[in-house]
């Protein structure tokens, strides 16, 4: 069991629908939060909503060279007990038609930025701390028309599995959560292509609640079937 009250947690992707909901539920459990996202305006609105639960915020883009280091700098000097990674972008289109700029942004934001961030912050996590990374159902079932996006999420999932083995002796638990399609609005904001017609997705509040339960109960793997 992980007691969240009084912990310091870094939430990356806090300006997204799922990231913001995770931040709200962490705050409700008594966690103190450092919020990170691309939009300074959205961060300020969320920080205002969560009040004293927020101890820091940083507007940074994981796709930029300095992004991961800027996020890490926001928690320097503060004991860190957890990281929630809910950042990501999506693109649609046939694998052979995805251009280089789209491939680069998908890889940088969904995977490489996270890997660089972990290089900075994972060594600072102590015993009984956690990392919760949000990949996606496409990590389990790569999807036609989303090959590049699927690859980044599968890479994120694989990285997390290896990371948990490396950090076990340090006492850090890594949770890989792979929720099914969720009504976050991400599919309406692709960086390329157009989303196919999708079935009704999961409620972000219930998805966030399941992830928080997994963090508290010490789970390490949260497949799409668990939501």
pLDDT for 113: 97
pLDDT for 89: 96
pLDDT for 198: 83
Q: Sort 191 into a burial class: Cβ within 10 Å, 0-12 / 13-18 / 19+.
A: middle
Cβ(112)–Cβ(151) below 8 Å: no
Render pLDDT for 150-168 as a digit per residue (tens, 0 to 9). 999 999 999 999 999 999 9
**CATH code (residue 184):** 3.40.50.720
Asked if the structure places residue 22 within a domain, the reply is: yes
**Any alpha helices (H) in the chain, and if so which ranges?**
17-28, 40-50, 67-73, 100-107, 113-121, 147-167, 204-217
User: How far is residue 205's CA from residue 17's CA, in Å, rounded to a whole number?
Assistant: 9
Instruction: Look at residue 1 and tell me whether its pLDDT is greater than 80.
Output: no
Residue 124 carries which DSSP code? G
pLDDT for 151: 98
Q: Mean pLDDT over all residues of the chain?
A: 96
User: How far is residue 3's CA from residue 141's CA, in Å, rounded to a whole number?
Assistant: 33
Q: What are phi and psi of 43, to 5 degrees?
A: -60, -45
Asked if the structure places residue 2 within a domain, the reply is: no
With pLDDT > 70 as the criterion, what percentage of the chain qualifies? 100
Instruction: Look at residue 196 and tell me whether its pLDDT is greater than 90.
Output: no
What's the pTM value of the predicted model, to 2 decimals?
A: 0.96
Token couple for 32? 């103190």
Task: List the 82-85 sheet strands across, edge first.
Answer: 54-59, 32-37, 8-12, 82-85, 129-134, 172-177, 221-222
Asked if the structure places residue 1 within a domain, the reply is: no
pLDDT band, residue 195 (cuts 50/70/90): confident
Cβ(121)–Cβ(85) below 8 Å: no
Asked if the structure places residue 34 within a domain, the reply is: yes
Asked if the structure places residue 66 within a domain, the reply is: yes
Domains: count for the chain: 1
pLDDT band, residue 145 (cuts 50/70/90): very high
User: How far is residue 15's CA from residue 208's CA, in Å, rounded to a whole number?
Assistant: 14
Domain of 22, in residue numbers: 8-226
Token couple for 50? 């969560």
For tokens 């705050």, the residue is 27
User: How far is residue 82's CA from residue 6's CA, in Å, rounded to a whole number?
Assistant: 11
Q: Which has the minimum average pLDDT: 60-64, 130-134, 207-211?
A: 60-64
Residue 172 carries which DSSP code? E
Cβ(91)–Cβ(106) below 8 Å: yes
Instruction: Look at residue 197 and tell me whether its pLDDT is greater than 90.
Output: no
Across the range 3-23, mean pLDDT stands at 97
Instruction: Look at residue 222 and tell me whether its pLDDT is greater than 80.
Output: yes
Asked if the structure places residue 3 within a domain, the reply is: no
């Amino acid at each position: 069991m992980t007691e969240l009250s009084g912990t310091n947690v870094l939430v990356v992707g806090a300006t997204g629908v799922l990231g913001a909901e995770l931040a709200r539920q962490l705050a409700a459990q008594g966690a103190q939060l450092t919020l990170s996202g691309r939009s300074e305006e959205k961060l300020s609105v969320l920080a205002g909503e969560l009040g004293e639960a927020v101890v820091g915020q940083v507007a940074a883009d994981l796709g930029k060279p300095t992004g991961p280091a800027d996020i890490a700098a926001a928690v320097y000097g503060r004991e860190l007990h957890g990281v929630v990674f809910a950042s990501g972008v999506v693109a649609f289109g046939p694998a052979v038609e995805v251009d280089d700029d789209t491939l680069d942004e998908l890889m940088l934001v969904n995977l490489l930025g996270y890997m660089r961030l972990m290089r900075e912050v994972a060594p600072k996590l102590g015993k009984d701390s956690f990392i919760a990374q949000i990949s996606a159902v496409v990590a389990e079932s790569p999807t036609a028309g989303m090959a590049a996006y699927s690859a980044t999420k599968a890479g994120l999932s694989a990285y997390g599995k290896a990371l948990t083995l490396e950090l076990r002796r340090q006492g850090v638990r890594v949770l890989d959560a792979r929720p099914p399609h969720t009504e976050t609005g991400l599919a309406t904001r692709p960086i390329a292509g157009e989303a196919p017609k999708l079935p009704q997705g999961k409620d972000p509040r219930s998805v966030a609640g399941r992830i928080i339960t997994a963090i508290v109960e010490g789970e390490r793997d949260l497949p799409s079937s668990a939501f």
